[in-house]
Amino acid sequence: MSTQTINLTLKVWRQNGPDDKGRLDTYHAKNISKDMSFLEMLDVVNEGLSKKNQDPIAFDSDCREGICGMCGAMVNGHAHGPESETTLCQLHMRHFKDGDTLYIEPFRARAFKIIKDLVIDRSAFDQIIQAGGFISVNTGGAPDANATPVSLEKSSLAMDAAACIGCGACVASCPNASAMLFVSAKVSHLALLPQGQPEATRRSLNMICEMDHLGFGNCSNERECEAACPKGISIQNIARLNREFIKSSLFSTPSV
């Protein structure tokens, strides 16, 4: 075997639907190039299964450039695999050794229903955004870019929070399946900017109430979310969310 290829044993979670009983099935990935991404390796395995008239492994992917948040799975217990600040589609096979056994499972949370195999329903995140993760804008011509000054510090913090791609790794890694890091990122990038102030008095309250309604757990500051986040979102945003929530609780009532 070439030193540029490896053989792997895959233990993959297979489940036909949210109400079916799942199982781990074993597959052998042979002669996998170290230059392949993790998803390209799964493509090769699926091609072999298709040739045998077997059901291919279902998994999510879209851009395969680490910016859309579609991909995601637990690899040996790590969301998106063992590399830090790396999405599953950007994880390359050179990080594994010949003969490794990989356990590949979907992100698990009460709010993330398994659709099939590694594919999960992340629409709960969309519902949280609909509850308050937006701003009001007036129709008409675009305002001058310099009409509303924003400090470099706040714009940088807002951009860091806005880097969240909503993949769900934070929820899957949290022992409580909390969505606090996701919600805090969405609240922070609006709370830090003047454009986000019209809804500021009710945004965090509405979003947290929706998060609780959907079955996400509470944050207990375990920090697994921060460690698993492929975009390096800081838990400092959770502290900001808590402050925004206190202000919202004093001046508003939830509308969800």
The domains of the chain, with CATH numbers, are: 5-113 (3.10.20.30), 123-251 (1.10.1060.10)
Q: Tell me: pLDDT of 52 over 60.
A: yes
Distance CA 211, CA 216 (A): 6
Indicate the pLDDT class of residue 246, thresholds 50, 70 and 90: very high
pLDDT per residue as tens digits for the range 151-165: 999 999 999 999 999
Find how far residue 180's CA is from the centre of its chain: 12
Looking up tokens 């709010």 gives: 111
- Which has the minimum average pLDDT: 118-122, 130-134, 198-202, 223-227? 198-202
Longest dimension (CA), the chain: 67
Q: Tell me: pLDDT of 144 over 80.
A: no
Q: Tell me: pLDDT of 197 over 80.
A: yes
Closest CA to 60 of 104, 2, 10, 11: 104
